[in-house]
Amino acid sequence: MADKKLIVITGATGSGKTSIRDYLVEKYHAGKIITHTTRKPRGKEQNNVDYYFETDESFAKLHLLEHVKYVTAQYGSSMEGINKAFENHDVAVIVLDTKGAITYARKLKDQAEIWFIKVDDPDTLRQRMQKRGDESQRIEKRLASDEFMRDMHLPDELKNVATVIDNNDWQVAQKQVDNLMTK
């Protein structure tokens, strides 16, 4: 992995982590790291494309680099997933909650470049999740969760490590991403 770059995208639910990940994949041909979850697919999400969708039983058998409980479901990522993305790419990208990002910063040190996606207003996030088609009960449960409160702010452990990307406005965020990718 020495000559490779791993970008870890973190931040609150609805902040645009997946959108920025997809932009990196489309424009910069980054390798997408697929993670595992026990939650049900949302909208048009597909198994093996958006996530590896697991049962509690299959999740328990995985060999994971890190795993978390986020509100009602489990999520986890593996070294195999990272290596698979690096097979054909020099840059790979993973989307994690802030707890996972802290684990990556600790375990992978300078090998992981952490980007924290910032959106200031919870109501903006609510509207984005509504537009995405999330069920309203699920949105409210997420917005009331400890995980949501935690992920709204850059954690102390990442303060000297992460690059903050302002995604209150897509054009502004896109420009910052372009600058980071061409520096």
Ligand X SMILES: Nc1nc2c(ncn2[C@@H]2O[C@H](COP(=O)(O)O)[C@@H](O)[C@H]2O)c(=O)[nH]1
Please give the residue ranges that form the binding site for ligand ATP (CB under 6 A). 11, 13-19, 95, 128, 131-132, 167, 169-170, 173
Please say which residue, 11 or 100, places its beta carbon nearer to ligand ATP: 11
Q: What is the dihedral angle through the alpha carbons of 112, 155, 22, 1, rounded to the nearest 10 degrees?
A: 10
Q: Which one of ligand X, ligand ATP, none interacts with residue 16, CB within 5 to 8 A by kind?
A: ligand ATP
Determine if 35 is a binding residue for ligand X (CB under 6 A): yes
Rounded distance between C-alpha atoms, residue 107 and residue 112, angstroms: 9
Strand 91-95 versus strand 163-166 pairing type: unpaired
Please say which residue, 63 or 183, places its beta carbon nearer to ligand X: 63
Q: Which one of ligand ATP, ligand X, none interacts with residue 113, CB within 5 to 8 A by kind?
A: none
Determine if 75 is a binding residue for ligand X (CB under 6 A): yes
Closest approach, Cβ 2 to ligand ATP, in A, equals: 29
Q: Which of 8, 76, 125, 143 binds ligand X (CB under 6 A)?
A: 76
**What separation in angstroms does the CA of 141 have from each of 117, 146, 169, 181?**
21, 10, 25, 35
**What separation in angstroms does the CA of 163 have from each of 42, 49, 113, 117?**
29, 27, 8, 9
Rounded distance between C-alpha atoms, residue 152 and residue 36, angstroms: 23
Give the binding site for ligand X (CB under 6 A): 13, 17, 35, 37, 39, 66, 68, 70, 75-77, 95-97, 99-100
